[in-house]
Amino acid sequence: MQEKRISVHGIGLNVLEAGEGPLVLLLHGWPELAHSWRHQLPVLAEAGYRVVAPDLRGYGRSDRPEALDAYTIFHLVGDVVGLVDHYREERAVVVGHDWGSIVAWGAATLRPQRFRGVCGMSVPYVPRMPVAPTEMMKALAGDRFVYILYFQEPGKAEAELEADVRTTLRKLYYTASGSLPDDHVFDLDLPKTGRFLDPMLDPEKLPAWLPESDLDLYVESFERTGFRGGLNYYRNLDRNWELMAAWTGAKIEIPALFVGGAKDLVVTGPPGGPGNPILAAMPAFVPDLRGQVLVEGAGHWNQQENPDDTNAALLEFLAGLD
């Protein structure tokens, strides 16, 4: 596995690269790095693929533009297409987790001719809604806390998250994982005056899937960069909605796969609830959906928590494309 810095469309990206063969791009989520694909890079490379995982713009050792509007879906998809161009390929497979999923679905929507397959993890494909995202959230939330709305004001979330980066990441990685006790009721009903970390649990010891050395790597990176780059993705949700007007009703026409943790609240919804209706609706929006895989025992970080089952799903999907 090699670490390189490359330039695509004027943006410097730090990438991890392994293997030779058809190109597969792995896009991380928030708040993560290319390192979150450490269990996938060698396995996919050994299976005969050239695998590239970038620190997305705003993260790690990649460039972090100052302008808030430098993080739109057009910029992010442009970076992904730039990677395909850099490796002199006509087409690639794009795999994303969390925010990386949104970018991957966006790439499949905006430039389908450059991608022969797409896999989204944790975040299913959602077509453009008739109302701007934050307006919809405000209407549904009333006087209750919604973390995406909390993230909208520049500087506010940064102050909370950066006060103690190690504690922030330890709490977030643990609380959103499948390591949380089954009998724990995750309280999402916070007042509007709440803060992001208020409902998070701090583990007495790290779960087995997150060794101290890996946490150290994440902490070092976010202590150096802060969280602003990743938070700017959220701050462009309404701008993305405006930019994507011409793609209202667009479907994902290329072969697709969805993978999520069986204990991920983003995928399943709160315990005892009706589940995530988007999963049931996805086949209507994604005609060539080749599977919805729920990874046992995993929460939100499925490719780190249960890499064996995640890798098996990816390899089967990739083999089907070949």
- What's the predicted TM-score (pTM) here? 0.97
Rounded to whole angstroms, how far apart are CA atoms 234 and 29?
A: 12
* Residue 238 near residue 207, CB atoms below 8 Å: no
Q: Which of 197, 120, 107 is nearest to 156 (CA)?
A: 197
- Residues carrying an active site annotation: 98, 300
Q: In the chain, count of helices (H) and strands (E)? A: 14, 8
Cis link prior to 133 (omega < 30° from 0)? no
Q: Which of 209, 294, 299, 292 is nearest to 263 (CA)?
A: 299
**Beta carbons within 8 Å of 164's beta carbon, 6+ residues apart:** none
Strand ranges for the chain from DSSP E: 2-8, 11-18, 23-27, 50-54, 92-97, 115-121, 256-261, 289-295
Burial class (CB in 10 A: 0-12, 13-18, 19+), 163: exposed
User: Helix 212-225 to helix 165-175 angle, to the nearest 10 degrees?
Assistant: 130
Amino acid sitting at position 32: E
Alpha-carbon torsion (64, 206, 293, 317), positive or negative = positive
146-187 pLDDT, tens digit per residue, is 999 999 999 999 999 999 999 999 999 999 999 998 777 666
pLDDT by residue, tens only, the chain of 322 residues: 899 999 999 999 999 999 999 999 999 999 999 999 999 999 999 999 999 999 999 999 999 999 999 999 999 999 999 999 999 999 999 999 999 999 999 999 999 999 999 999 999 999 999 999 999 999 998 889 999 999 999 999 999 999 999 999 999 999 999 999 877 766 667 888 899 999 999 999 999 999 999 999 999 999 999 999 999 999 999 999 999 999 999 999 999 999 999 999 888 876 666 667 889 899 999 999 999 999 999 999 999 999 999 999 999 999 999 8
Alpha carbon distances (Å) from 13 to 64, 65, 130: 10, 12, 34
Return the C-alpha torsion angle 171, 175, 179, 180, nearest 10: 120
Domains and CATH numbers, the chain: 2-321 (3.40.50.1820)
* Residue 275 near residue 257, CB atoms below 8 Å: no
117: its two tokens: 């397959």
Amino acid sitting at position 64: R
